[in-house]
Amino acid sequence: MSSVDYKSIASFLHLAEVEKREVVRITKETPLSIEDAYRVQEELVALKLEQGHRIVGPKMGLTSRAKMKQMNVEEPIYGYIFDYMVVPDGGSIKRQELIHPKVEAEIAFIMGKDIEGPGITGAQVLAATEYVVPALEIIDSRYENFQFTLPDVIADNASSSRVVIGNRPIRPDQLELDLVGVTLFINGEIKDLGAGAAVVGHPANSIAMLANMLARRGEKIKAGDVILTGGITGAAMLSVGDTVLAKADGLGEVSFKVS
Ligand code: 0L1
Ligand code: MG
């Protein structure tokens, strides 16, 4: 049995987020297995719920081949987006509320039905999806220099920090989501671009993997969940004064400013 104190690590990471302070990564002093890391994440989620925050939905991270190779993993990771993280489309994020934020462009799914693994496929996910929208995720690792091992980032709720969700929902059968081109602009200049297929072949596959991963912990995806499927573009650093825009073919645009 592990002797890791999940609750105190979760409190440490929660305080770092609240105090907008980068901290030494956990595994520098305390070895964590992947299982330990998800146990810490569960405590962190419980802490946020106790404080009155509400879960908007799970998110998937490390879904691109490049990020998986960089972290030497074969499976993405997940975390949770909370209500206090949601910024309205066209709104602002406050740089001083964050540590060292980066932004990546994604496609978000709004679920119409529960999905419970194991054995879920992308086709089943699409059948259970009400709408898809473009999204901008702001990740803000609580660790020094945005550097971590896989268990560290899982424990840190997959670097979740802020999210801007597009406000023009589209039915998923209106598009071939793997072929949707997404361009990330900062201050009017193209920062990066990619296609939906960058997310484990198809963004619906990412949610199928999520359902199957959650099933190992006796959990499921719920109707009404808004789920970030993973970065289509790379993550770009943000500075005060930046205007950030993502355009997704057939899905429209989503934007925010950094104040
Ligand atoms: O949403 C993401 O893909 C981020 C997952 C965590 C890795 C990172 O912070 O870059
Ligand atoms: Mg992301």
Mutual angle of helices 6-18 and 34-50, in 10-degree steps: 60
The chain-wide mean pLDDT, for the chain, equals 96
pLDDT of residue 68: 85
pLDDT tens-digit map of 77-97 = 999 999 999 999 999 999 999
Ligand 1 pocket test: which of 70, 139, 150, 164 has the largest number of ligand atoms within 8 Å of its C-beta? 139
DSSP 51: T
d(CA 81, CA 28): 26
Whether residue 1 has pLDDT greater than 70: no
**CATH numbers and ranges of domains, the chain:** 6-258 (3.90.850.10)
Residue with CA nearest ligand 1 atom 9: 159
pLDDT of residue 257: 98
230 lines ligand 1 (CB under 6 A): yes
pLDDT tens-digit map of 119-140 = 999 999 999 999 999 999 999 9
Residue with CA nearest ligand 1 atom 8: 159
Structure-derived torsion over alpha carbons of residues 218, 39, 164, 100, reported in degrees to the nearest 10: -160
Give the Å distance between the CA of 254 and the centre of ligand 1.
20
Ligand positioned closest to the Cα atom of 63: 1
pTM: 0.96
Within 10 angstroms of residue 15's Cβ, the number of other Cβ atoms is 13
3-class secondary structure, 225? coil
Ligand positioned closest to the Cα atom of 140: 1
Ligand 1 pocket test: which of 17, 67, 154 has the largest number of ligand atoms within 8 Å of its C-beta? 67
Contact (CB, 8 A) for 44 and 10:
yes
Q: How confident is the model at residue 69 (pLDDT cuts 50, 70, 90)?
A: confident
Give the Å distance between the CA of 150 and the centre of ligand 1.
10
pLDDT tens-digit map of 21-44 = 999 999 999 999 999 999 999 999
d(CA 236, CA 239): 10
Ligand positioned closest to the Cα atom of 78: 1
d(CA 85, CA 88): 10
Whether residue 58 has pLDDT greater than 90: yes
